A and B are shown apart, each in its own frame.
Chain A
């Protein structure tokens, strides 16, 4: 069992094809798989559908794949930070499916957990509910949302061991854990690969069963909005 690869291009070898569906972790620019996104750009894979909470900014994150017109469709909850995204969307070059943020996370979690659909109150009475199955439970109306299974999940974690056990850091965990579970194959990029046995088994956030390929690399970790308070 070899899960560690030397770089992002090698880790994605044989996994990419035009028209595929990729689930990506990250919230805004926090915890995004920046090295794997770069490698997908270099690979030139086209007509991609991405399930990702956001679409990056123009020159970072999924935004770099919009510049090269490799993305056909986004499934996201919020896409406000990206001018090129808006241009392509308004001109009809890019499809967009809005999912409420919690519905998107649960679609990933459910897909990875073998649950093809679930009922939620989120979106009842809104455009999100149009065309979806409605059902009452205990006097309240819910809509059915479908679990999501992606051809590939690309995620970012803080530390991994060689078996793929992962530890995330602070709010960079976000969509990385649910996205990982919904991929038929999951590739993770980490800041540090540590020896097997050095992670406390009680503190592992995502067990290695969900992780198939691992790379270690140097991350830019760009900050989207740097907010500070005066020093006391």
Chain B
């Protein structure tokens, strides 16, 4: 079974040289620590930046330089800044090759739910709906089951959707699955996880 960092490392294998990529909050943010040698990717932050650098050292924090999670960050030699309309023009326009984001539920047809739980505090979708509708490829990184052991890979999402049929690949603590015609296809299993275990933890239809 993979831990958070191993899931992030596996997700980093999805990156290709020259890509512009948007990383969501949580485990997806860790992906930037595992970018493979020889691969150059440019990270987009949807509040208006391409070429996002690491956190600043103490004392170098700049209130005018934050990421989409409102954390202080730094710029790189190739960094560019732009306004929010331009930022989402490049997202909506398909210029961002891939988004890696977390999820509450994914359905076997690629439906994604990650922004609200009815009856609970609703904070908003932020840029998630724009990202999943606009980027070239959507990769979800999440635990395979919730804290009660129930599968988060479902036949149909029960929560309000962030996007309809938008997910391409799902990386969980148990393995990697692709959304294909008719359901999910197992691409690989995590270290120490058998295919039978992965199948047993999955509600969604698994196709061969």
Contact = CB atoms under 8 A, between A and B. Distances in A.
Contacts of A11: none
Nearest to A31: B64
Contact of A122 (B61, B123, B129): B129
Nearest to A222: B63
Interface string A204-232: 01000000000000000111111111111
Contact of A171 (B45, B111, B128, B161): B45
Interface string B65-106: 111011111010000011111011101100000000000000
B11 interface: no
A169 B64 contact: yes
Nearest to A85: B123
Contacts of B92: 102, 106, 120-122
B54 interface: yes
Interface residues of B, number: 53
A78 B63 CA distance: 19
B26 interface: no
Contacts of B49: 170-171
Given A102-B130, A126-B161, A126-B163, A176 B83 contact: yes
A187 interface: no
A15 interface: no
Interface in B95-151: 111, 121-130, 133-134
A104 B88 CA distance: 10
A123 B128 CA distance: 10
Given A124-B164, A128-B129, A228 B64 contact: no
Contacts of A104: 84
Given A30-B47, A79-B124, A102-B127, A53 B66 contact: no
A126 B162 contact: yes
A60 B54 CA distance: 27
Given A31-B64, A100-B129, A174-B48, A228 B81 contact: no
B34 interface: no
13 contacts: A27-B70, A27-B84, A28-B66, A30-B47, A77-B125, A78-B126, A79-B124, A102-B91, A105-B83, A205-B83, A221-B64, A225-B66, A226-B72
Given A30-B64, A101-B127, A103-B130, 6 more contacts: A27-B48, A31-B64, A102-B88, A102-B129, A128-B129, A223-B72
